[in-house]
Structure 1
């Protein structure tokens, strides 16, 4: 099963150094039966894009958490959403019953780096909009429509696709 795991550039560097994504359980996003039922007119590619987009939203929250705990201050260009696409055995994935997050899944085993299929990352052109979205998250969560507009603006940027052999160059 293809699962999209939210990440950040510093977290991706730690994954590469450790040789695995973990510890388990890991929250990810995938084409689940609930997603297929909700988006009945979508083909597999469209459904995978929905799951990827959900993971990118979660990556935005990870960036906010990194900034809040001092892992990053956003000045090194780290304000880019990262989604790691992995292939995992179906039996390691548990699908949730939360209809608000139809694509959300939990992976119950660490994932070896060899299972990474690709990495999706914001282009450097998105850094300013992603940084603004990270800063606006608290107000957006509190119901501020203007802040929600700023957060949604990060989604105007398509994530770039990187093959696994490009990960070292991406991190350098």
Structure 2
């Protein structure tokens, strides 16, 4: 089961430090493969709502075994990718339909440092 988790760069740094995405983070689970883009965009909109001002929307994508794991803490080893805006947006809420860039898990440190 694929799960899309709305977050921010600051929170992503905390998830990396903790080794897991906490259970309280807002999650979106698509009903099927065809609904994955809608889940991604819903998570992106929720990410924009988490930002108090300019920033980058961030969505963590993880594969979990089932609904119980989807609601629990998600170990970083379950994360398969991160989607984020390519640059800081002055008003992230004004761009709910813009596509996010795709980042492999090994690119997370560069994303957090601002290198990508």
Confirm or deny a common fold (TM above 0.5). yes
Q: Any conservation in 2 of the 1:59–1:81 contact (CA below 8 Å)?
A: yes
| Structure 2 residue matching 1:157: 3-state secondary structure | coil
Q: Any conservation in 2 of the 1:84–1:119 contact (CA below 8 Å)?
A: yes
Q: Any unmatched runs of 5+ in structure 2?
A: none
Q: Deviations over 1:110-140 (max 9, x none)?
A: 111111010000011x61242xx3xxxxxxx
Q: Any conservation in 2 of the 1:16–1:113 contact (CA below 8 Å)?
A: yes
Q: Quote the offset at 1:91 in angstroms.
A: 3.7
- Matched residue pairs, number? 113
Q: TM-score scaled to structure 1, two decimals?
A: 0.60
Q: Distance in 1 between matches of 2:71 and 2:35?
A: 23
Q: TM-score scaled to structure 2, two decimals?
A: 0.87
Q: Which has the larger radius of gyration?
A: 1
Does residue 92 of structure 1 match 2:54?
Answer: no
Does residue 61 of structure 1 match 2:60?
Answer: no
| Structure 1 residue matching 2:99: 3-state secondary structure | coil
Q: Distance in 2 between matches of 1:108 and 1:127?
A: 30
Give the number of the structure whose residues are more often helix, by fraction.
Answer: 1
Q: Distance in 2 between matches of 1:156 and 1:111?
A: 27
Would the alpha carbon gap of residues 158 and 91 (structure 1) be closer, same or farther in structure 2, given more than 3 Å must change? closer
Q: Quote the offset at 1:155 in angstroms.
A: 2.3
